[in-house]
Amino acid sequence: MRILICAVGSMGDVAPYTGLGAGLRAAGHDVTVAGYPESAEYVLARGLPFRPVPGSSRALYDSARGRRWQRRGTGPAGMARAHLLHLPHARALARGLAAAAAPGADLMLLSGSALLGHHVAEAHGIPSLGAFLQPVYPSRHLPPWTAGVTRSLGGWANRNLALGADIALALRYAGVTRDVRAELGLPPASTPAVRRAVQRRFQSACLGFSPSVVPRPDDWPDTARVAGYWWPERPAGWRPPERLASFLDAGPPPVYVGFGSVVHAGVAVEAVGAALRRAGVRGVVQAAGADRIAGDDILALTGPVPHDWLFPRTAAVVHHGAAGTTAASLRAGRPVIPVPIATDHPFWADRLVRLGVSAGALPPRRLTAERLARAVRTVLDEPRYAAAAGALAGRIGAEDGAGAAARIISGA
């Protein structure tokens, strides 16, 4: 089967789909990845063909609107800003997905930012399936994080607030959806029969997270299936930078601090440096301005380094709480200090605390040298956090998410 994985987003968003692609390829499928051009080198280095679609996460995040979103990205308003950030580019993205699918595909797998691809697949007469890294469906058992709320409000409110968020998103994209369907020669989505068919497609998904981290709610649609994590592929022949390997060998395991592609969240790198030194630990820091705090005890890390190699060599991990980085820190069995910045980050931060691998989240507005130092010492000095992280890593390590996804998708 020829499968087109539409993985739209930042490098962290795209990385797990290389693991999914490798699993599908091992199952005998012909796999191609479509994404923003900035992802091409990353995907191609992992042996998967690539087709570009218009757009750039870097440009979006670095725009004036993107910077405001990163600084105020949590809560209901933050979720709305995230959708509005991508809305102006949605029509061009849909055209790009249509062009990527044109050379021939038997199935389209769609990341959360590529859902307009369902309409593209309909126009091409091929099946489509969501491939999500987050628990996106409303449930009475999960807090309505898609509405920007990360604490449970009770079963009825959890489910209905999440449903309301879905309706609000559909209304924001109504004009784009209308135009895209017209451009593809499809009937309006407002027709009752078409609306029901569209809803069925949106409810069919393979979900790339561990049931040990988020158990599958019993009120989800039967077509939403949890496979387990899809671990990113390493490039063939990859070796760690000599400077990093030497630093790791020169002393005790450091604390890693990094915030992925989110670079305008208002986190003061000087506070990070002061916190690590106050806590009496070495650090590997991958953040804007890290060179300003580098020294014998802190290494400023530039360029991508596979988390599956680096995180097991650390004592603890401080990160923004995106789905892929959260998965990598759990796989490594290390305590975590989440610094949730936007969208799904607060949900995963709350999940880390509930799983016992974190003592609590530090949103950017509350991150000071004193608080971060105290958080670092807490997770290092109290053995229960490392014990919980190690036990969870053992359960996750026994799962084969890419293999399970390949079986689900082969039967789609």
**Does one domain contain both 219 and 268?**
no
Using DSSP, state whether 255 is helix, strand or coil. strand
Q: pLDDT tier at 96 (50, 70, 90 boundaries)?
A: very high
Scored b (16 or more CB within 10 A) or e, 228-238 reads bbbbbbeeeee
Domain count, the chain: 2
- Residue 198 sits in the same domain as residue 328: no
- Once rounded to an integer, what is the mean pLDDT over residues 163-178? 90
**Number of neighbours of residue 259 by Cβ within 10 angstroms:** 26
- Confidence band (pLDDT; 50, 70, 90) for 248? very high
What's the per-residue H, E or C state across 306-364?
CHHHHHHHCCEEEECCCHHHHHHHHHHCCCEEECCCECCHHHHHHHHHHCCCCCCCCCH
Residues 106, 204, single domain; the answer is: yes
pLDDT in tens, 13-72: 999 999 999 999 999 999 999 999 999 999 999 999 999 999 988 888 888 877 777 777
In which band, very low, low, confident or very high, does the pLDDT at 78 lie, cut at 50, 70 and 90?
A: confident
Instruction: Provide the residue range defining the domain that includes 316.
Output: 242-397
State the average pLDDT for the chain: 92
Residues 223 and 109 reside in one and the same domain: yes
Q: Are residues 265 and 363 in the same domain?
A: yes
Both 111 and 43 in one domain: the answer is yes
Give the per-residue pLDDT at 349: 96
Q: Write the pLDDT tens digit of every residue in 115-130.
A: 999 999 999 999 999 9
Q: The CATH number of the domain where 205 resides is what?
A: 3.40.50.2000
253 and 115, same structural domain?
Answer: no
Question: Average pLDDT in the 266-286 region?
Answer: 92
- Which amino acid type is present at position 246? S
What distances in angstroms separate CA 241 from CA 250, 259, 302, one per listed residue? 14, 20, 10
- Model confidence pLDDT, tens digit, residues 350-393: 999 999 999 999 988 888 999 999 999 999 999 999 999 999 99
- 298-300 and 283-286 beta bridge pairing: parallel
* pTM, rounded to two decimals: 0.94
CA–CA gap between residue 378 and residue 335 (Å, rounded)? 10
Specify the pLDDT at position 266. 59
Q: Are residues 258 and 384 located together in one domain of the fold? A: yes
